[in-house]
């Protein structure tokens, strides 16, 4: 008779531990539209974990290219970036999440490597 409540208590303890194991993150969404980022400037806080949610709403392949920014960040899922860890590539209609924490305040350039010449540029500020 005591076995079931004990198992239930153990299950609740394990669920609580699993919930604490996944760190909380602040979500920032960036839409990549043909020839622009929306928003085109991001402001982040140093030491905060972010979920950078990227969506390509354009007709073309777009890149979220920020080599210095990504180089200064602790990235929880680096497989979402390209091999050089400098950008995230998104096909039309595709979305991807980058989970990261950046610890180095400063200003970082943001471009779409294929469309920067058309004005698809922006910036990232880390306070």
- Indicate the number of domains in the chain: 1
Output phi, psi for 21, to 5 deg.
Answer: -70, -30
Give the CATH number of the domain where residue 113 resides.
2.60.40.420
Q: pTM, whole model, 2 decimals?
A: 0.81
The verdict on residue 12 lying in a domain is no
The verdict on residue 8 lying in a domain is no
Query: Could you tell me the residue range of the domain that residue 113 belongs to?
Result: 24-126
Q: Is 55 exposed, middle or buried (0-12, 13-18, 19+ CB in 10 A)?
A: middle
Q: Of all residues in the chain, what percent carry a pLDDT higher than 90?
A: 76
pLDDT above 60: residue 3: no
The verdict on residue 6 lying in a domain is no
The verdict on residue 3 lying in a domain is no
Q: Strand 73-75 to strand 41-44: parallel, antiparallel, or no bridges (unpaired)? A: unpaired
Residue 9's pLDDT is 53
The verdict on residue 111 lying in a domain is yes
- Per-residue confidence band for 127, with pLDDT thresholds at 50, 70 and 90: very high
The verdict on residue 103 lying in a domain is yes
pLDDT 10s digits, 35-80: 999 999 999 999 999 999 999 999 999 999 999 999 999 999 999 9
Euclidean distance between CA atoms 42 and 123, whole angstroms = 6
Cβ neighbours for 105, distance < 8 A, ≥ 6 positions apart: 46, 126, 127
Cβ neighbours for 73, distance < 8 A, ≥ 6 positions apart: 100, 101, 102
Q: In DSSP terms, which residues pair with 125 in a beta bridge?
A: 43, 107
Give 18 or 23, the one with higher predicted confidence: 23
């Amino acid at each position: 008779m005591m076995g079931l409540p004990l198992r239930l208590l153990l299950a609740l303890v394990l669920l609580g531990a699993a919930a604490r194991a996944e760190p909380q993150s602040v979500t920032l969404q960036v839409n990549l539209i043909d020839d622009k980022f929306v928003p085109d400037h991001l402001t982040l806080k140093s030491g905060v974990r972010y979920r950078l949610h990227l969506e390509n709403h354009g007709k073309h392949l777009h890149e979220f290219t920020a080599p210095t920014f990504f180089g200064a960040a602790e990235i929880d899922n680096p497989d979402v970036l390209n091999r050089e860890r400098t950008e995230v590539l998104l096909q039309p209609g595709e979305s991807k999440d980058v989970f990261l924490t950046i610890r180095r305040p400063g200003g970082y350039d943001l471009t779409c490597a294929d469309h920067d010449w058309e004005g698809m540029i922006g910036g990232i500020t880390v306070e």
